[in-house]
Structure 1
Amino acid sequence: MDHFQPGRINKIDFPSKILDRDVTLSIYLPKDFTELFKYKVIFCFDGLDFFSFGKIHRTYEKLWEANEIERAIFVGFHYEDVEKRRAEFHPRGIRTPLTVKAMANEILPYIDAQFPTYKVGNGRVVLGDSLAGSAALMTALSYPRIFSQAGLLSPQHDDVIQTLIERCQFQEQLTIWHTVGLEEDDFALPTTGKSADFLTPNRQLRTIIENSSITYHYTEFEGGHRWKSWKNLLDDLLKYFLSDNISF
Structure 2
Amino acid sequence: MTDYQVGIVNKTQFTSQHLERDVTLSIYLPEDYSVFDNAKIIFCFDGRDFLRFGQIHRVYERLRQQGEVTRAIFVGFHYESVTKRRIEFHPQGEKAAATVQAVVQEILPWVEKTFATSDVAEGRILLGDSLAGSIALLTAFSYPRIVNQVGVLSPHSDDVVEQLFQRCQFQEMLNIWHVIGKEECDFQLPTSGKRADFLTPNRALHDKIQATGGQYFYEELDGGHNWKTWRTVLPQLLKYFLSNQ
Give the shorter-chain TM-score range.
over 0.9
The answer to whether the 8 Å contact 2:68/2:244 transfers is no
What is the distance in 1 between the residues matched to 2:123 and 2:225?
Answer: 29
Deviations 1:1-39 (A, max 9, x none): 000000010000100011000000000000121111110
Runs of 4+ aligned structure 1 residues displaced above 6 Å come to none
Q: Tell me the residue number matched to 2:229.
A: 229
1:17 alignment counterpart: 17
SS at match of 1:3: coil
| Shift in Å, 1:244 | 4.7
Instruction: Supply the distance in 2 between the matched residues of 1:144 and 1:226 (Cα, whole angstroms).
Output: 28
Q: How far off is 1:192 after superposition?
A: 2.4
**Percent identity at matched positions?**
58
> Is residue 171–residue 213 contact of structure 1 (8 Å, CA) maintained in 2?
no
CA distance in 2, matches of 1:161, 1:154: 13
Partner of 1:122: 122
- Distance in 2 (CA, whole Å) between partners of 1:63 and 1:187 is 33
The alpha carbon displacement at 1:194 in A equals 1.3
What is the number of equivalent residue pairs in this alignment?
Answer: 245
Match of 1:211, SS state, is helix
Relative to the length of structure 1, the TM-score reads 0.97
Cα separation, 2, equivalents of 1:145 and 1:54: 29
Structure 1 residue 213, shift from structure 2 partner: 4.4
Instruction: Find the aligned partners of 2:216 and 2:64 in 1 and give their Cα distance.
Output: 24
Q: Which residue of 2 aligns with 1:142?
A: 142
**Backbone CA RMSD of aligned residues:** 0.8
Gaps of 5+ in 1: none
SS at match of 2:212: coil
Alignment gaps of 5+ in structure 2: none
Counterpart contact for 2:67–2:244, Cα < 8 Å: no
The yes-or-no answer on 1:26 pairing with 2:26 is: yes
- 1:2 — aligned with what? 2
Question: Which position in structure 2 is the counterpart of 1:190?
Answer: 190
Could you tell which deviates more after superposition, 190-199 or 216-225?
A: 190-199
Alignment of 1:40-51 (within 5 A): 40-51=40-51
